[in-house]
Chains A and B, each alone.
Chain A
Amino acid sequence: MTTADLLTALPGLMRGAGMTLLIVLIAIAGGIALGLPLGTLWSALPSRRLLRSLLWLFDRVFRGFPALVLLFLVYFGVGSIPGMRISPFAAVALALGLRSAAYQSQLFRAALEMVDKGQRDAAASLGLSGTATFIHILLPQALRFSLPGLANEYSVVLKDSALAFAVGVVELMSRGKFLSMATKDTATPYLLIAAMYWVLTQLGVTFFRQIEQRRRIPGLGTHASQSRANRGTQP
């Protein structure tokens, strides 16, 4: 592959990267929109309720199935129902979004449970209602606790979005494959998209770290993190 080839291919690869980011954005946003209520339900519902078992089933399927199998299940499965058609892009967005929602519900549940129980009592003693406690006390802290996990989720979804290639969405991975076939070069295109994915991962993680820093409240932490800070560690 020559430099001229590379220059003509670059805009296509950039559009591929844009498509990849679009998939990631939809999946993460959908994941938050569905995962936050689900995580709240997880932490609030008592066990042995019908709803709880439904949640459990959702969780098992979307966290226990491999992403690729999930994608095939949505794309080919929904497509094979008579009268139903689903575009590859919609299938990818749906599969990755639901999968991300299942992971994020666990993330938000853990974050909600990290908030010190004393705060709930304090809110109750101030006369705050359950909803007010949730919105003004629990949620702002839990969202902060969940930020590192969210950064992690971004990097996972970004990497899983490469699977969209398997159902024919033209994103970064497919562009790389096409380029490799067109130029009969099996090295440069793949190394190039690997580098682009790496950059996207680093950018995203830096972005989330920025938010984390900006939203940080000095002194806010869990008991675990405080005791970890006090203990001398290696090396």
Chain B
Amino acid sequence: MIRFFLDILPELGAGLAVTLKLIVCSVPLGVLMGVIVAMSRTYGPRPVRFLAASYQSVFRGVPLLVQLFILYYTLPRFGLLLSPFAAAVAGFGLCSGAYHSEYIRSALLSIPTSQMEAAYALGMKKITAIRRVILPQALRRSLGGCGNEIVSLIKYSSLAYLVTLVDLTGAGKQIAYRSFRFFETFLIVGLIYLAMVAVTSSGLRALEFHLDPEHARPWPLARGTARPIRRSRKFASKEGHIES
């Protein structure tokens, strides 16, 4: 098993590089989409709100695989030819953006109205108040949900293989077909995904802890935070914040 693992490591590594590239490109795209859509659905004029709501409904109601197929196979019919990588990044970004926007929107709505009134009382314009007062708090509150979404995007990045991109899953499948050792190969591939998920979710948990005003400490990690982080994990799992 270990011998086998060492043998296939270079090929898996190449696939892993593609997967990581996919994730690194699509996560910021998703978060950006999420913020834009959440803001337009909460504060936009009526037609914009409607558009944002339809976007959420469509991209959350259709399987990601179908979305990828449409981006990759259907768009060329309308003159827009995307490479497999571009199609995958666009699909992941748009789909996870719809989920992010829902978390961010509910966070925006959870900030008490009195804060907006206080900002007006200080003479801020609406846009300044949202940017300086409401949004920073909302983003902090939505970190739990958005973190979950990022974690699930890591797992769903495996769908890129179905639009002909040889990512980690694709490399695994090629190895499995060549060596006929299906079980070991997919187990190793799954464990690599699991490792990525574990690292990301613990990183996000630490970030959530540090952005929590109650434990505010200068970034990067200040001294003596090791124990409180562990305590926060217990808290987080009980409250159902970041999971994997």
Interface residues of A (CB under 8 A from B): 60-61, 63-70, 72-73, 76-81, 106, 110, 113, 155, 158-163, 165-166, 173, 176-177, 180, 186-187, 190-191, 193-194, 197-198, 201-202, 228, 231-235
Contacts and interface: CB of A to CB of B under 8 A. Distances in A.
Contacts of B63: 158-162, 173, 197
A interface secondary structure, majority: helix
Nearest to B162: A166
A186 B182 contact: no
B134 interface: yes
Interface of B: 42-43, 57-58, 60-67, 69-70, 73-74, 76-78, 108-114, 116, 134, 155-159, 161-162, 169, 172-173, 176, 180-183, 186-187, 189-190, 193-194, 197-198, 238, 240, 243-244
A79 B116 CA distance: 60
Contacts of A159: 62-65
Contact of A106 (B108, B173, B243): B243
A166 to B, nearest CB: 6
A81 B183 contact: yes
A61 B198 CA distance: 12
Contacts of A160: 63
B114 A232 contact: yes
B156 A66 contact: yes
B102 to A, nearest CB: 11
Contacts of A180: 73
Contact of A63 (B42, B180, B240, B244): B244
A66 B190 contact: yes
Nearest to A107: B240
B183 A77 contact: yes
12 contacts: A68-B159, A69-B172, A72-B169, A77-B182, A80-B182, A162-B63, A162-B66, A163-B65, A173-B65, A197-B63, A201-B62, A234-B134
B239 to A, nearest CB: 9
Contacts of A73: 182-183, 186-187, 190
Contacts of B76: 186
